[in-house]
Chain A
Amino acid sequence: MKSNEAKDDELPSISKLDKTIHEPARLMIMAHLFVVESADFLFLQRQTQMTPGNLSAHLSKLEDAGYVEITKEFIERKPHTALALTKKGRDAFRQYRRDIKQIADKLPE
């Protein structure tokens, strides 16, 4: 117990990291959506090399957190899923980058 507290004192910001983003697959999704205005499901799947099911599950979690906006529409009578980061998502990703950089800077060489 004491050792856990000591660890928290040494690196207090680790516990503050956004766990929704910190998961590697979701981090990859967030990073890809951060550099574009929007992308569709297929494009994101090809870029991240995830299976449709896996990508879908992670997108649902990001949508629940309010980080990703999922818009379903029809283009030439075919269903199309457009994905984009919300303002909350962009801000959260920027904050996450700041936090992770801060932690990395504090670590010894």
Chain B
Amino acid sequence: MTEGINLKEIERKVYTSYHQDGLIDIAIALIVLAFGIMMIFDMAWMGGVFAVVGMSLYVAAKKTLTVPRIGFVKFATHRVKAMQTMVIGVLSLFMLLGIVAFMQTEGGGTPAWLLFAIENHMLVIGVSISASFCAAGYTFRINRMYGYALLALAMFVAGHFLYYPLYYYMILLGSLILLSGLAMLISFVRRNPPTTGSIGDRGNEEQ
């Protein structure tokens, strides 16, 4: 009897259905691609600008494509807080590492850990991106993020031995995630035609 009310499973199902449109994948892919392309022009910092633009586009696309098809849901506060904590946590960690590296370099010479990180930068970047995907997968309860984590790790580990420029891998990773996201979006749009008239309204049925 109690198996009938598996709240964790219902919560997971609600999350999965809300993210089955592939929009989060497309947004992430565009950010990774932007970083990769900007690296070619030595303007990787511009990737940060695209991250802000990408997230704004994600919100707008969600309103235009997803809500008219499957409706709107506001997730429980504790879940939203967990998402915010995850994003802030990952950004803070990278920022902290940057500040420590800058301070130690300014203080006299390059520290050994930074030299090691520079020497093995492909592995460091691969692990960082992979960890970010895992954190996103855990927080948003999207299992395919673990797949992207594995893909990123495999690509950057291979890149450690292949000596192609970093942007090659960023562009390839971004393109693969973009393709996956687009395939999901097409499938989602086909499976869920938009409702006509009102958004999530009871219409005349309640009379």
In the complex, the number of residue pairs spanning A and B with C-beta atoms less than 8 Å apart equals 94
Interface presence of B199 (CB below 8 A) = yes
Other CB < 8 Å A-B pairs besides A31-B5, A81-B201, 10 of them?
A27-B4, A31-B10, A36-B14, A42-B195, A42-B199, A46-B17, A47-B14, A52-B205, A56-B206, A60-B206
Pair B73/A56 contact, Cβ less than 8 Å: no
Note all chain A residues with C-beta closer than 8 A to B192. 46
Pair A42/B13 contact, Cβ less than 8 Å: no
Chain A: residues with CB nearer than 8 A to chain B? 27, 31-32, 34-47, 52-53, 55-56, 59-60, 75, 78-82, 97, 100-101, 103-104
A88 to B77: give the CA distance in the assembly, Å.
18
Interface presence of B7 (CB below 8 A) = yes
A82 to B206: give the CA distance in the assembly, Å.
14
Contact of A36 with B200 at beta-carbon distance under 8 Å, contacts A31-B7, A56-B205, A97-B5 already known: no
- The A-contacting residues of B in range 44-96, CB under 8 angstroms, are 70-77
A36 to B72: give the CA distance in the assembly, Å.
11
Pair B200/A42 contact, Cβ less than 8 Å: yes
The contact sample of 10 A-B pairs, CB cut-off 8 A, is A35-B11, A38-B74, A39-B73, A42-B200, A43-B71, A46-B70, A79-B198, A81-B201, A81-B202, A101-B2
In the complex, the chain A residue whose C-beta lies closest to that of B72 is A40
Interface presence of B108 (CB below 8 A) = no
A44 to B14: give the CA distance in the assembly, Å.
10
Interface presence of B112 (CB below 8 A) = no
Note all chain B residues with C-beta closer than 8 A to A43. 70-73, 200
- Among A41, A81, A103: residue with most chain B CB under 10 A: A41
- Among B10, B192, B202, B206: residue with most chain A CB under 10 A: B202
A44 to B195: give the CA distance in the assembly, Å.
14
The residue that B197 contacts in the complex, of A31, A46, A75, A78, with Cβ under 8 A, is A78
B116 to chain A, nearest CB (A): 45
A60 to B206: give the CA distance in the assembly, Å.
8
A59 to chain B, nearest CB (A): 8
Note all chain B residues with C-beta closer than 8 A to A45. 71
Note all chain B residues with C-beta closer than 8 A to A78. 197-199, 201
* Top 3 closest pairs, chain A to chain B, by CB: A43-B71, A40-B200, A42-B71
Interface presence of B203 (CB below 8 A) = yes
Pair B198/A80 contact, Cβ less than 8 Å: yes
A67 to chain B, nearest CB (A): 15
A101 to B5: give the CA distance in the assembly, Å.
10
In the complex, the chain A residue whose C-beta lies closest to that of B192 is A46
A56 to B197: give the CA distance in the assembly, Å.
18
